[in-house]
């Protein structure tokens, strides 16, 4: 929570309390003057809230991850609809032919049963997905059948008897509804880890207020009496808490959650950006009047970029490559410009004369006129590959020489000179020096030594 939220929360609470106090006093005065108007206003409030909850849930059902809120939102469409019929059939309204107190009491009971049983079931959808159409398909015939039992078949159990008050069925039903609501609160409490803490608190408070409201509706004997007034005041509070949980939190939380998720994502990707071993750089291409790339500007680089190039981020960001490295070859700018302007990625290996290194590069365009590149320093691998190629060439030459020496060599039987491929006669030593790496050292073998000594002796004797 930010400092501003902490500072404004007390003011918000006080302002809402003042509004409730003024509305409550106004309704209390109205109830004393015209109870039917008070009842209509109280019911209209709950009906509007119910329809608002439904509209929010229905239109956000594809975006909501929380299917609990979607389910609750949909069931309040039916609760609000039944409450509307309850208000229109209330004694003194004159909308329907029957103008007694039993029918509106029956409709009230049906609305509370639907509400309580739905709230008991709703926590199941904290871990399950729902199909909104299926919920409507189930509730429509069930609620429709209950309404027909009141208006058409007229076989719904009596709830209020004129001159006597509430029937035992009505009182027992209210106690059962309170028990169901308590079960709903317990069910929600067991799954509280899956619910936002504020939403959980608001729902729990709403259920608690509804239970107290239902208890108040077991005590009146006059539909215009004090307990009826108290019950309707509590119903207003209960529906406001539901409103706060679904509409208020449903509208505010996604944005706070969105920015929280964005901050989390930014932190995660910033960590990845800074920890990645490959160099990364983001640039904006600079073109001349004809639209030809002539330079590019550094927008951001990661630490790996600095270590792989030896260039510091503080000396790069905001500057162009020709400002930092004037000796940059034009083909770098042209290649990157093609990526930035066409949007087509490129993958290549290239030698940078400015940095005296070989790089393997993947370049792409994140936006029109911009390009980013991820690269690795492959200088050592390139040198090793070049050395391997050179060694292979040397081996090939050696094999060719060996092959040459393996061929039939034409040699003179007298002077021992060798004829080469061009027909020229060369001394034996010169031939081998030309076609191999062999070197010669001259000596004399024992046989030749004996022959030479004997010849020398002959030459020294007088004739």
DSSP SS3 for 75: helix
Range in 5-14, 47-56, 379-388 with the lowest mean pLDDT: 5-14
Please tell me the distance from the alpha carbon of residue 103 to that of residue 162, in angstroms, as a whole number.
Answer: 12
**158 has a pLDDT exceeding 70:** yes
333 touches 339 (CB < 8 A): no
Q: How many helices (H) and strands (E) does the chain have?
A: 15, 9
98 vs 26 pLDDT, higher one: 26
pLDDT value of position 283: 93
Share of the chain above pLDDT 90, in %: 33
CA-CA distances (angstroms) from residue 261 to 4, 122, 245, 248, 256? Answer: 20, 27, 21, 20, 8
φ, ψ (nearest 5 deg) of residue 281: -145, 140
Model pTM above 0.85: no
Q: What is the mean pLDDT of residues 369-398?
A: 81
DSSP bridge partners of 279: 375
What residue has token string 């365009």? 365
**pLDDT grade, residue 263 (50/70/90)?**
low
Nearest partner of 225 among 35, 38, 92, 45, judged by Cα: 35
Range in 1-15, 146-160, 178-192, 417-431 with the lowest mean pLDDT: 1-15
Please tell me the distance from the alpha carbon of residue 106 to that of residue 4, in angstroms, as a whole number.
Answer: 48
273 vs 322 pLDDT, higher one: 322
CA-CA distances (angstroms) from residue 392 to 250, 427, 442? Answer: 71, 31, 33
**321 has a pLDDT exceeding 80:** yes
Residue 314 parent element (H or E): none
320 touches 296 (CB < 8 A): yes
Q: What is the mean pLDDT of residues 339-364?
A: 89
Please tell me the distance from the alpha carbon of residue 105 to that of residue 70, in angstroms, as a whole number.
Answer: 28
Nearest partner of 305 among 322, 280, 323, 324, judged by Cα: 280
Per DSSP, 167 falls in state -
The model's pLDDT over 182-203, given as tens digits with 9 standing for 90+, comes to 999 999 999 888 877 888 898 9
Please tell me the distance from the alpha carbon of residue 455 to that of residue 375, in angstroms, as a whole number.
Answer: 79
> Domains, the chain, ranges and CATH?
19-255 (1.20.1070), 275-378 (3.30.450.20), 411-458 (no CATH)
CA angle at 189 for the pair 185 and 190, rounded to the nearest 5°? 125
303 touches 322 (CB < 8 A): no
Range in 18-22, 117-121, 123-127 with the lowest mean pLDDT: 18-22
Q: What is the mean pLDDT of residues 438-461?
A: 70
pLDDT value of position 7: 42
35 touches 224 (CB < 8 A): yes
**Long-range contacts (CB closer than 8 Å, 24 or more residues apart) made by 137-142:** 139/74, 139/75, 139/78, 139/114
């Amino acid at each position: 929570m930010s400092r501003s939220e902490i500072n404004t929360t007390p003011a918000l609470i006080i302002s809402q309390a003042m509004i409730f106090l003024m509305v409550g006093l106004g309704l209390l005065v109205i109830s004393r003057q015209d109870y039917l108007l008070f009842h209509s206003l109280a019911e209209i409030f709950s009906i509007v809230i119910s329809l608002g909850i439904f509209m929010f849930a229905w239109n956000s059902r594809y975006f909501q991850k929380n299917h609990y809120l979607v389910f609750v939102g949909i069931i309040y469409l039916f609760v609000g609809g039944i409450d509307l019929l309850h208000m229109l059939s209330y004694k003194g309204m004159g909308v329907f032919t029957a103008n007694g107190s039993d029918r509106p009491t029956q409709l009230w009971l049906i609305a509370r049963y639907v509400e309580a049983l739905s709230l008991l079931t709703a926590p199941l959808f904290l871990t399950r997905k729902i199909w909104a159409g299926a919920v409507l398909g189930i509730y429509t015939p069930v609620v429709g059948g209950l309404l027909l039992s009141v208006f058409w078949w007229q076989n719904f159990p009596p709830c209020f008897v004129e001159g006597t008050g509430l029937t035992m069925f009505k009182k027992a039903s209210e106690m059962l509804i309170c028990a169901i609501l308590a079960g709903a609160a317990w069910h929600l409490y067991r799954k509280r880890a899956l619910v936002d803490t504020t939403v959980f608190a608001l729902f729990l408070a709403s259920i608690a207020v509804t239970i107290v409201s239902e208890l108040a509706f077991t005590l009146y004997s006059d539909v215009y009496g004090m307990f009826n007034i108290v019950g309707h005041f509590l119903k207003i509070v209960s529906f406001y808490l539901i409103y706060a949980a679904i509409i208020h939190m449903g509208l505010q939380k996604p944005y706070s959650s969105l920015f929280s998720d964005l901050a989390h994502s930014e932190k995660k990707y910033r960590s990845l950006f800074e920890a990645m071993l490959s160099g990364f750089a983001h640039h904006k291409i600079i073109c001349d009047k004809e639209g030809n790339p002539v330079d590019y500007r550094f927008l951001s680089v990661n630490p790996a970029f600095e270590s792989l190039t030896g260039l510091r981020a503080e000396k790069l960001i905001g500057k162009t490559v020709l400002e930092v490295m004037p000796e940059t070859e034009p083909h770098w700018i042209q290649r990157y410009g093609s990526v930035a302007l066409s949007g087509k990625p490129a993958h290549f290996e290239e030698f940078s004369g400015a940095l005296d290194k070989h790089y393997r590069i993947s370049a792409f365009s994140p936006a029109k006129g911009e390009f980013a590149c991820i690269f690795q320093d492959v200088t050592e691998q390139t040198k090793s590959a070049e050395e391997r190629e050179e060694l292979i060439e040397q081996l090939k030459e050696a094999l060719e020489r060996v092959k040459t020496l393996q061929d039939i060599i034409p040699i003179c039987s007298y002077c021992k000179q060798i004829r080469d491929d061009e027909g020229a006669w060369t001394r034996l030593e010169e031939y081998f020096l030309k076609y191999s790496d062999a070197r010669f050292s001259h000596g004399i073998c024992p046989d030749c030594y004996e022959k030479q000594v004997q010849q020398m002796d002959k030459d020294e004797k007088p004739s």
